[in-house]
Structure 1
Amino acid sequence: MKLAVVGGGSTYTPELIDGFARLRDTLPIEELVLVDPAADRLELVGGLARRIFAKQDHAGRITTTTDVDAGVADADAVLLQLRVGGQAARERDETWPLECGCVGQETTGAGGLAKALRTVPVVLDIAERVRRANPDAWIIDFTNPVGIVTRALLQAGHKAVGLCNVAIGFQRKFARLLDVNPSEVHLDHVGLNHLTWELGVRLGGPDGENVLPRLLAEHGEAIAADLRMDRRIVDRLGVVPSYYLRYFYAHDEVVRELGTKPSRAAEVAAMEKELLAMYGDPALDEKPELLAKRGGAFYSEAAVDLAASLLGDGGSPVQVVNTYNRGTLPFLPDDAVIEVQARVGRDGAAPLPVPALDPLYAGLIANVTAYEDLALDAALRGGRDRVFKALLAHPLIGQFDYAEGLTDRLIAHNREHLAWA
């Protein structure tokens, strides 16, 4: 089995490598190719990756290349974890929206749209190269904004499934609080990427006892603190929202907070510099503890599980993924991309049925899906007017003057990445 990781020079990659090494019985990789245009970073990450495999007695071969075509040749699956424009672009995404009084964040709002506009054309080009190399290869997308990027891939006819680590993070946290094995925890996870709610936490499987009320009663303070939300929100909802819902439920508070401290991008850039220095140490043969602060917790385990299910029989039969709606949420088009529990196998992902949603959640999902429709149109066809309409449709913006100002700023800060600008 051959896997390729596009964006393999990311500081995330050792987390992925550690998972591949530990879970080799689930996903028996013979060859792993790390692909990245940044040759200097790639060699540092590649060296550490080989040492991790060696320490854990993994027999697989790890190679590196800056050539996408060479890297994906004959690959059975390709993982996408790229960041067009790097941390410098993220820094801008997190700052210029604040000038208009809107949240500056890399996956939602105006910053999220900027990332989508930069990313979708690049991902589609890579996907075409994968299809030419092996039309049967699966593409696993971890590149944000996952929902929009995955929809672009599916719409273009690629064999693709989107992946996020939010659900597996909740599963692991709830398992710790309940003192059970994570495999015993099943989530009623519903929504769009970075716009989800845990409507239930069941023990033993999809039909198991719902212990969410007990979790909120006994651990509500800790859960709310983890989300950086007021406990009153969690108690009033009676469900656990993704921490990205904080941008919607406490927008003005978050904007004030973001204006008083360094951006997350600046923090990550400093962390990456330190991590890369560590990766260059020939004595280091495991992922450093600092990597946990970088984000992406449990990404490797989710990626292994998904790849194993798509390529064989080694993964879990039910996983949280991003895939076509296909009637699962009846108020959305069939070709909307949703994030829910799905049955995963060699033929792809089939969403499991979801109970009728409270309008409180369905309304926001429908609104953000409409924005994503417009965002993808802008990413594929370009043009100032399409960017403006996407921004105006976003529930975190929604005002004419804000959308006008944000459109000008978005284009000005991303001109080098926008072929039409």
Structure 2
Amino acid sequence: MKKNNIVLVGGGSTWTPGILKAMTTHLDQFALNRVVLYDINSDRQAVIGQFAEILFQEEAPNVEVIYTTDKAVAYNDVDFVFCQMRTGGFDMREQDEKVPLSLGVIGQETCGPGGFAYGLRSIRDMVEMVQDVRRLSPNAWILNYTNPAAIVALALDKLFPDDTRILNICDQPVNLMRSYAKLIDRDVNTLEPEYFGLNHFGWFTAIYDENGVDVATEIKDIVKNGGFRPVDAEQRDQSWLDTYAMVEDMLNDFPDYLPNTYLQYYLYPDYKLSTLDPNYTRTDEVRKGREQKVFGECKRIVENGTARDSSVVHNDAHGDMMVEVAASIANNLRKTYIVIVRNDGIVSNLDDDVMIEVAASLGKNGPHPYAVGNIDTFYKALIENQHGFEKLTVEAYLEGSYTKALQALTLNRTVVDAKKARKVLDKLIEANKGYWPALN
């Protein structure tokens, strides 16, 4: 089995320890030669980098581990790029959430105006990353977790239409699958999903067990009668528990399919707005929770010189999915994952340029998505509206167009009103100086 060289972009992230741990536990599927952590924040990078050195020394001592702030070192001679950028860090995430809330609109990092703002920041750095990687490692696979994945995927498809080694992915469908499996007491590895939509905007139409039986109805009945909690509920903040609980409401109103949890913001914007505290948002929760826990634990590990019996890993699904996707590609395993691809007829009654999220087999030649066919009017209309928002957001960035930015926010179901959209846009422009292109 070939030993791979990996670079993890955003190496100072709180999610990095989980990905690193997944690398050491999946060495039988995905062999490693070198792992490089790359981040522009040297202080965060050093803490996670020192943890990585100890972890690999104990669990995979033959793998070289490097952490760096030099992109020439990071991107040179790599087979896979694992990307999880957060342009602007938590300071700008706080603006994404609190600016819209201050004007009576939902503030959430990937949905609505917050996702719009984050998307306009992410595009620039993602484009630069692709260009740097292609210069130093022309054949590397780029596996992207960077949010908002829908907007990033659309921008990269538009700017690099012939690059077949960029794959945008999201772990939320995997988190949901693991949670469904726990509900019905099954091994998630024996379940196979059918899914369609956009990133953070999709539905499971069926979930088959090892005998080909669709267990989606069984799952729906359990959720509608007993609620829904994530498989790792004990590790989750209250906002995530509230998010999963909303699946019961969505199923009671729209029982056709099992929904992605993020749909709550689009289907119930007034209700969700009423539950959000403009002075204490998800960013504050993460800073006081996961951020302190992960960095505190990494520092403790460095001081003690051992990562054994550590509780630093948060959300195994996040790391497992990234490594398993890479393994399926590298070893031509053709396993099924839910990924983001260009539509090109997969959903028959949507435009070809929609970047849809669907189930696909993954091998050496990338994703081979499974056909969905026609979708019903309600879901088609929701997706077309959301795609219009995403497409106009990308065009606003590329053209420096204030008008298209305003159109995008007006279309978004969390805003709707053009006067609100203009107020939010103007305040976000001020907050994002230095990150966004000029919008005229």
TM-score (norm 2): 0.89
5+ residue gaps, structure 1: none
Contact 1:39 1:66 in 2 (8 A): yes
| Counterpart Cα distance in 2 of 1:138 and 1:197 | 27
Report deviation, 1:393: 1.9
- Specify the code of the residue in structure 2 equivalent to 1:405: K
2:167 is matched with 161
Report deviation, 1:219: 4.0
Whether 1:172 and 2:178 are equivalent positions in the alignment is yes
| Counterpart Cα distance in 2 of 1:94 and 1:177 | 32
1:182 is matched with 188
Q: How many residues align?
A: 415
- Relative distance call for 1:276 and 1:393 in structure 2 (3 A) is same
Q: Which of 95, 98, 123 is the equivalent residue of 2:98?
A: 95
- Specify the code of the residue in structure 2 equivalent to 1:182: V
1:54 is matched with 57
- Relative distance call for 1:198 and 1:51 in structure 2 (3 A) is same
Residues 12-52 of structure 1, C-alpha deviations (whole Å, 9 max, x = no match): 10000010000111111110100001111111101111222
2:389 is matched with 371
1:151 is matched with 154
1:223 is matched with 228
Contact 2:348 2:372 in 1 (8 A): no
Which runs of structure 2 are paired with 1:133-144 in the superposition (5 Å)?
133-144=136-147
| Counterpart Cα distance in 2 of 1:228 and 1:118 | 31
| Counterpart Cα distance in 2 of 1:286 and 1:237 | 46
- Relative distance call for 1:41 and 1:230 in structure 2 (3 A) is closer
Residues 114-145 of structure 1, C-alpha deviations (whole Å, 9 max, x = no match): 00111101110110000111221111110001
- Relative distance call for 1:230 and 1:65 in structure 2 (3 A) is closer
- Relative distance call for 1:113 and 1:4 in structure 2 (3 A) is same
- Specify the code of the residue in structure 2 equivalent to 1:197: W
1:324 is matched with 342
Report deviation, 1:356: 2.6
1:412 is matched with 430
**143-152 or 376-385: bigger deviation:** 376-385
Residues 233-252 of structure 1, C-alpha deviations (whole Å, 9 max, x = no match): 31342222111011122211
Contact 1:14 1:287 in 2 (8 A): no
- Specify the code of the residue in structure 1 equivalent to 2:113: A
1:280 is matched with 299
RMSD: 1.9
Which runs of structure 2 are paired with 1:375-394 in the superposition (5 Å)?
375-394=393-412
Contact 1:110 1:406 in 2 (8 A): yes
Contact 1:146 1:163 in 2 (8 A): yes
- Relative distance call for 1:236 and 1:390 in structure 2 (3 A) is closer
Whether 1:85 and 2:88 are equivalent positions in the alignment is yes
Contact 2:35 2:65 in 1 (8 A): yes
Contact 1:391 1:403 in 2 (8 A): yes
**Secondary structure of the structure 1 residue equivalent to 2:32:** coil
TM-score (norm 1): 0.93
Q: Which of 27, 33, 52 is the equivalent residue of 1:24?
A: 27
1:259 is matched with 277
Residues 384-420 of structure 1, C-alpha deviations (whole Å, 9 max, x = no match): 2221121112122221101111110110110121242
Report deviation, 1:166: 1.0
| Counterpart Cα distance in 1 of 2:320 and 2:34 | 18
1:309 is matched with 328
1:214 is matched with 218
| Counterpart Cα distance in 2 of 1:382 and 1:417 | 13
Contact 2:83 2:146 in 1 (8 A): yes
Whether 1:191 and 2:197 are equivalent positions in the alignment is yes
2:414 is matched with 396
**Secondary structure of the structure 1 residue equivalent to 2:433:** helix
5+ residue gaps, structure 2: 230-241
- Relative distance call for 1:301 and 1:269 in structure 2 (3 A) is same
